Chains A and B, each alone.
Chain A
Amino acid sequence: MTAPLIRIDTLSKRFQSGGGLFAKPRAMMAVRDVTLSIGKGEVLGVVGESGCGKSTLARLVLRLIEPSAGRVTFDGTEITALPPAALRKMRRRMSMVFQDPYSSLDPRHSLTEVLAEPFRVQGETLPPEQIPQMLEAVGLPATFAQSHPHQLSGGQRQRVGIARALALRPDFVVLDEPTASLDVSIQAQIIALLADLRDRLGLTYLFISHDLGLVRYFCDRIVVMYLGSVVEVLPDTRTAPRHPYTQALMASNFAPDPARRRMIEPLTGEIPSPFALPPGCAFATRCPRASDLCRQKAPALGGDAAHPVACFHPL
């Protein structure tokens, strides 16, 4: 079996907030002990709700923020140990598409300058004849080359963001909720574009989203996160969930089909504050299957290697 393209080992990130003369600083683990691998050509989905740490994980994988512990290995090189110059060169091979198309482009730069920036940072220049091709590859007309972001719609801006991420022909792209700010009809266009680009350019994707339906459609494997930890890794999109939280997520994802209306038993309670996590399993406060064991000890991710679950009473 070929080695995975990305290996993430016990990655953790701790954030501190508050503190001052009269208050003690509080700390929370945005990402705790995450171990994953991503194979070449794979589309790995990471799904979860607010506070689950998926956006932080995305940034840790690209080392846009420094981890508190753990390491990330890209194609055999440990990027968490690289010095700045080497890291910059490594960034040719991995890039990111951001969630908000309205603020991810510098309003003062024309599209040509946006596309030229990745080259400039690497000390190269963008050959002008390449620009029309870069724009057309993401479905934008070449005439947009001198336009500025405010002249484009949200969907068009997101296409520019994708073109920028692909400018240096990376191997790996992290997609941080790339369609969350877009209308559903535009979302579908962008997803189709991403799928097409992945096939043509042999890309590997890390796809972050809160939309489980979208992740199940687009991704090969699915990682489910809750309050900073991985609770389940589904080996494919057809396998039934074993973690109660994953099941709740699936149940909350209403199908656009009244024939499949269901009487759901919604989760009680709210997501606890990450600054004041209860001992034991973080999900125990809301879990219909929680027992005393769950409230005392935090379950580790284990079980079947192909379908690990972090639960004492999996389904």
Chain B
Amino acid sequence: MIAPLRALRRPQGALAGLWLILVICAAILAPLLTPYAYDIQALPNAYQPASAAHWLGTDEFGRDLLTRLIYGARTSLSVSATAISISVLCGMVLGAAAAWFGGWLDRVVTMTVDLTWSFPEILIALILVAIIGPGTTGVMIAIAVAYLAQFTRLTRAQIMTLRGETFIEAARSLGAGNGHILFRHLLPNALAPVLVSAMLATGDAIILEATLGFFGLGAQPPVPSWGGMMSAGSALVFKAPWVIIFPGLAVAITVVAINLYGDALIGELDIRSRLRRDA
């Protein structure tokens, strides 16, 4: 059984995994699950608390909150996941190249990447969005660049450590060329820690996306995003607190779930802790 499925056997992995599966399914099946459209306004219905017609109430434009929450999940998850995937891909390529070729390439890559790392992610994101313009594309690129340093460094460190392992020397003694060693030994062994790191970074990215959305820099209205919803709801804290509470909870629970699942996954990928548990 592969590691992500085994991680579901652990208690925290099971609980967290359940929530994540729920959120992902909801996001994918949004049109089927939601009774309302997310952008149709119905002003007479504004500021309604939870009721039979609107399970989570309505927002300032009378739109169903639950519907917007589920569509918001689409935005948050797709933007973060895509951004992190791009970041991981570029990071692994850069990190592997830096570790493999060394020399000036290593120095250039490391210095450039360290420059981005020395800025807080939100600052980089804001700068990039200011240049590219608001909207999901800008946010995706911003997040990808903000996390690039992490994956580049991690991959580079992993590959540099692995290069000295005896099994790499053994592969060379069989006549293996650089490509074989890179793709059959180095990258698979380096992949596991990078993937786990990517998972945890997705949680961070959701928060970053929500933050950018809070400032109005993310998905533009009427496309819902959790951050944007929180931003609108912040003005209504006393009048209709549910407008900010539910998206806030959604972000919090999802990020906690990602972290818990990530912990369970680390436990499954780390051979030694598996043995301890199985013994």
Contacts and interface: CB of A to CB of B under 8 A. Distances in A.
Given A106-B185, A150-B271, A100 B175 contact: no
Contact of B169 (A84, A98, A122): A98
Interface stretch (A87-95, A183-191, A269-277): A87-95
Contact of A117 (B174, B271, B272): B174
Contact of A96 (B173, B177, B275): B173
A64 interface: yes
A95 B174 contact: yes
Contact of A98 (B166, B176, B185, B271): B166
Given A100-B166, A104-B166, A104-B167, A64 B189 contact: no
B175 A107 contact: no
A121 B175 contact: yes
Interface string A99-125: 110011111100000000110111000
A108 B189 contact: yes
Contacts of A99: 166
Contacts, number: 58
Contact of B175 (A87, A103, A105, A106): A87
Contacts of A98: 166, 169-170
B122 to A, nearest CB: 37
B274 to A, nearest CB: 9
A159 interface: no
A107 B174 contact: no
Contacts of A92: 175
Most buried by A among B176, B180, B188: B176
A121 B166 contact: no
Interface residues of B, number: 20
B192 to A, nearest CB: 8
A122 B175 CA distance: 8
Contact of A121 (B180, B189, B271, B275): B180
B175 A88 contact: yes
A120 B175 CA distance: 10
Interface string A137-174: 00000000000001000000000010010000000000
Interface residues of A, number: 27
Contacts of B165: 103
Contacts of A150: 271-272, 275
Nearest to A94: B173
Nearest to A117: B174
A1 B133 CA distance: 83
A69 to B, nearest CB: 22
Interface string B166-206: 11011111111100100011001100000000000000000
A91 B175 contact: yes
Contacts of B177: 84, 88, 121
B166 A103 contact: yes
A64 B173 contact: yes
Contacts of B176: 117, 121
Contacts of B175: 87-89, 91-92, 121-122
A72 interface: no
A62 interface: yes
Contacts of B272: 150
B112 to A, nearest CB: 22
Interface of A: 62, 64, 84, 87-89, 91-92, 95-96, 98-100, 103-108, 117-118, 120-122, 150, 161, 164
16 contacts: A64-B169, A96-B173, A98-B166, A99-B166, A103-B166, A104-B166, A104-B169, A105-B167, A106-B167, A107-B189, A121-B176, A121-B180, A122-B175, A150-B275, A164-B170, A164-B174
Given A64-B169, A100-B166, A103-B165, 19 more contacts: A64-B172, A87-B175, A88-B177, A91-B174, A91-B175, A92-B175, A95-B173, A98-B170, A103-B166, A107-B271, A108-B189, A117-B184, A120-B180, A121-B174, A121-B176, A122-B175, A150-B272, A150-B275, A161-B170
Interface of B: 165-167, 169-177, 180, 184-185, 188-189, 271-272, 275
